[in-house]
Amino acid sequence: MQERLKELQTEALEKIAQAADLKELNDIRVSYLGKKGPITEVLKGMGKLTAEERPKMGALANEVRDAISSGIEEKHKQLEAAAVEAKLAGETIDVTLPGRPMKTGHRHPLTNVIEEIEDLFIGMGYTVEEGPEVEKDYYNFEALNLPKGHPARDMQDSFYITEEFLLRTHTSPVQARTMEKHKGKGPVKIICPGKVYRRDNDDATHSHQFMQIEGLVIDENIRMTDLKGTLQVFAKKMFGEDREIRLRPSFFPFTEPSVEMDISCKICSGKGCSVCKKTGWIEILGAGMVHPNVLEMAGFDSKKYTGFAFGMGPERIAMLKYGVDDIRHFYTNDVRFLQQFSIHE
Ligand code: FA5
């Protein structure tokens, strides 16, 4: 019995040493140490031993079990470590591989154009002002020499929210608000970019929501020639020396005299296309000398102070600058269109 137990120990330890993986090791554990294993089988013969021999044999059986268990435990550790090593070796990262390029976003072409215009005017000494998009009828119309019922209100079809409030139809109310803040004291030299809303039917050059940038200069001795010079500098810097501009007489209730400025169409080089409505020109801004009524309403002495104002459409400017043939491209968020402007970052 003693010898059989020793044999079993040697046999088991040999098998343990040869075990190739954790599963095989577990099978050895079950077959040698399980209830139906050979050690239990041998110990069934204990009944035949003397009272003296029995405890010795019991102790030996325990020693054999312990030796097999520790052998299994030791091998278990080795196999586990080998498995981790194999896994690590299989997952080695090649740090020399080139990285996968990530697609990054970029600024919207309109944001680029607006910032370019802002920078240009800031360079000429202007500061940037902002005003609310939900505006009082008073600032959108009345303070700009457009009392209730004035027929020129129809020039800008509006979205009213209540009788008193509407979505501003232009950025000119920021002029009125800024003049009021100055309490009759010049100079004022501001630009105001922002969104505006009109019940216009959308087409190649019209959108119901679009951007405007307003400009306002008030001081003593400001003349029409100052306005013309400013617009010429702006147009040349924005579109290049070779693009033509023209000023046409126009009408705005808040300026007198009033003009509109057109730029020669880049899409057809002035020959006439659907974007310029066959005229060869695209209107980009309205402007004029601030009407004395507007100055007086805001508390300025119109005998001492004069000023000019302009309001331009950055979408139209972006269309001319980049040769975009439909204003709706800026608002439909087609990435194929927008991606073309990533180089302007
Ligand atoms: C005005 O809105 C005046 N407030 C501009 C002004 C300011 C005149 C200060 C005098 C002094 P007008 O409605 O023409 O004017 O619009 C000005 C510019 O906004 C246009 O030249 C055009 O570039 C742009 N614009 C007008 N309507 C639309 C539209 N529906 N979609 C896109 N751009 C538009």
Given a cut of 70, is residue 15 above it in pLDDT? yes
Give, using CA atoms, the residue closest to atom 5 of ligand 1. Answer: 311
Q: Does 252 sit in the ligand 1 pocket, CB within 6 Å? A: yes
Given a cut of 60, is residue 344 above it in pLDDT? no
**pLDDT tens readout for residues 53-111:** 888 888 888 888 888 899 899 999 988 998 888 888 888 888 898 988 888 888 899 99
Q: Is 256 annotated as a binding residue?
A: yes
Q: For residue 261, list its beta bridge partners.
A: 247, 285
Best probe residue, ligand 1, of 248, 316, 317 (max atoms within 8 Å of C-beta): 316
The C-alpha atoms of residue 117 and residue 312 are separated, in whole angstroms, by 10
Give the atom of ligand 1 at the shortest distance from the alpha carbon of 212. 19
Q: For residue 193, list its beta bridge partners.
A: 213
Peptide bond into 109 cis (omega under 30): no
Identify the architecture of domain 109-344 in CATH: 2-Layer Sandwich (3.30)
Average pLDDT in the 226-252 region? 91
Q: Where are the domains of the chain?
A: 2-90, 109-344
Q: Does 313 sit in the ligand 1 pocket, CB within 6 Å? A: yes
Q: Does 210 sit in the ligand 1 pocket, CB within 6 Å? A: yes
HEC assignment per residue over the chain: CHHHHHHHHHHHHHHHHHCCCHHHHHHHHHHHHCCCCHHHHHHHHHHHCCCCHHHHHHHHHHHHHHHHHHHHHHHHHHHHHHHHHHHHHHCCCCCCCCCCCCCCCCCCHHHHHHHHHHHHHHCCCCEECCCCCEEEHHHHCHHHCCCCCCHHHHHCCCEECCCCEEECCCCHHHHHHHHHHHCCCCCEEEEEEEEEECCCCCCCCCCCEEEEEEEEEEECCCCHHHHHHHHHHHHHHHHCCCCCEEEEEEEECCEEEEEEEEEECCCCCCCCCCCCCCCCEEEEEEEEEECHHHHHHCCCCCCCCEEEEEEECHHHHHHHHHCCCCHHHHCCCCHHHHHHHHHHC
The C-alpha atoms of residue 274 and residue 204 are separated, in whole angstroms, by 8
Q: If you measure from the C-alpha of residue 252 to the centroid of ligand 1, how many angstroms do you get, rounded to a whole number?
A: 10
Q: Give the burial class of 67: count Cβ atoms within 10 A of its Cβ; 0-12 exposed, 13-18 middle, 19 or more buried.
A: middle
Q: If you measure from the C-alpha of residue 310 to the centroid of ligand 1, how many angstroms do you get, rounded to a whole number?
A: 9
Nearest to residue 146, comparing CAs of 259, 257, 291?
291
Q: Does 328 sit in the ligand 1 pocket, CB within 6 Å? A: no
Average pLDDT in the 6-19 region? 88
The pLDDT value recorded for residue 183 is: 93
How are beta strands 127-128 and 188-197 bridged, if at all?
Answer: parallel
Q: Does the pTM of the predicted model rise above 0.85?
A: no
Share of the chain above pLDDT 90, in %: 53
Q: Return mean pLDDT, the chain.
A: 90
Do residues 311 and 172 make contact, with C-beta atoms less than 8 angstroms apart? yes
Given a cut of 80, is residue 219 above it in pLDDT? yes
Best probe residue, ligand 1, of 212, 312, 326 (max atoms within 8 Å of C-beta): 212
- Say which amino acid occupies 102: M
Best probe residue, ligand 1, of 174, 210, 329 (max atoms within 8 Å of C-beta): 210
Given a cut of 50, is residue 201 above it in pLDDT? yes
Give the atom of ligand 1 at the shortest distance from the alpha carbon of 172. 4
